Structure 1
Amino acid sequence: MTAKIDLKRELDAYRAKQGEVRFVDVPPLSYLAIDGHGDPNGPAFAEAVAALYPLAYALKMASKRELGRDFTVMPLEGLWSADDWSSFTDARDKTRWDWTLLILQPDWIDEAMLEAARERVAAKGAPEGSSAARLADVRLERLEEGRCVQTLHVGAFDDEGPVLARIHDEILPAHGLRPRGRHHEIYLSDARRVEPAKRRTILRQPVEPA
């Protein structure tokens, strides 16, 4: 069996410091993904999370058992968008948010492994807090974000607004850049166990020349 890998430690794009905004080149990466809409404090978000994690752990165990390749299950991530950007920065109108939840996968995880894992998880019964329909909605998705700007936010999710506004209104224009694609968050802390003031979240935005 090869050594267990932890992609958080191997990928520069998963490093960030509080108070430091930096540019990174994110390589093409594969994720488990599931879509949703609305307030992340609502049941739809919880159901999506509950569908993702059993598949992530089933894939880890299958990789270790069948391929001799073990890996750390990565933290939850989210892609976020809305018709009006102010719903993230000023208004914080969560009912208008569209989201895609993600869990990063090693490159060797493929569609056949995902389908086999889905069958194993479904055979055990729907995960707690989810439904069979949501389990079926999880897919493998390849993201090619390329050049991005990112920083580490420490604190409550609702306190991200000023950080995002600074990136979009000051830093990007100063470098002749504009946002490209969806806002990306990487949740380094488990929100179920870490109090809001101590949560660590990487805030990432793909960019392009203005």
Structure 2
Amino acid sequence: MTHKTDFKKEIDAYHASKGRYEIVDVPDLRYLMIDGHGDPNTSSAFGKATEALYPLAYKLKFASKQALGRDYVVMPLEGLWWAEDMDAFTASRDKSRWDWTLMIMVPDWVDHEMFAAATEQVAAKKCPQRLHEVRLETLSEGTCVQTLHIGSFDSEAEVLARMHHDFIPEHGLRMVGKHHEIYLSDFRKTAPERLRTILRQPVTAHTLAPRS
């Protein structure tokens, strides 16, 4: 029987605790990625993005098992989120201003040749509308602050405000990169109050400008 790797258990950065902000070092990871803009609740692009990602993620899993003898659990959906004014996440919650990249992590042995072959196979069977917008890319986040949020997405604002305005500056850090969410629950099937989401923010050491 082929061993099945679960990277959620293997990679420390996929572990987080509710009510606790932690500083973690995230390794470079490879993802299927697709971009979009606007409110995920009303944007048709968001739904079509997930429709493109999942078939490709499963096709790569089966290709890895059959061709390489390396099986793994398909990873959860993740998202990078940003806006010109990051208070759009913690104050106004104006989702129409949000930009996003939806992602599913794949093992580092999935190369561009495997990705291209899997894309062709998915397209030949039932081609999702946004399939050819998906790319394979490595994300480098490095040092991050993260916590586990349990509850609806709209109840994240207070947790993020404490992260952005209290924990990060109090630890001599400043925000860089994009807000990152890891959806440990399937939000299509889970009640909002039971959703489990890792909230992550890349950071760097805060450096003071030299005195003149």
Q: The TM-score by the shorter chain falls in which range?
A: over 0.9
User: Which amino acid counterpart does residue 37 of structure 1 have in structure 2?
Assistant: H
Q: Deviations over 1:29-54 (max 9, x none)?
A: 10000000001112110000000000
Number of the residue aligned with 1:124: 125
Pairing 1:192–2:188 present: yes
Q: Output the CA distance in 2 between the equivalents of 1:123 and 1:2.
A: 28
1:155 to 143, 151, 155: 151
1:166 to 138, 162, 165: 162
Gaps of 5+ in 1: none
Q: For the aligned residues, what is the CA RMSD? A: 0.8
Q: Output the CA distance in 2 between the equivalents of 1:93 and 1:158.
A: 11
Pairing 1:32–2:28 present: no
Q: Output the CA distance in 2 between the equivalents of 1:200 and 1:155.
A: 7
Gaps of 5+ in 2: 207-212
Q: Output the CA distance in 2 between the equivalents of 1:195 and 1:102.
A: 22
TM superposition shift of 1:2? 4.6
- Aligned runs of 1:1-210 on 2, under 5 Å? 2-41=2-41, 42-127=43-128, 131=129, 134-210=130-206
TM-score using structure 2 length:
0.95
The alignment covers a number of residue pairs equal to: 205
User: Which amino acid counterpart does residue 5 of structure 1 have in structure 2?
Assistant: T
TM-score using structure 1 length:
0.96
User: Which amino acid counterpart does residue 7 of structure 1 have in structure 2?
Assistant: F
Q: Output the CA distance in 1 between the equivalents of 2:78 and 2:124.
A: 27
Q: Deviations over 1:142-162 (max 9, x none)?
A: 011010000000000011001
Secondary structure of residue in 2 paired with 1:87:
helix
Runs of 4+ in structure 1 over 3 Å off: none
TM superposition shift of 1:126? 2.1
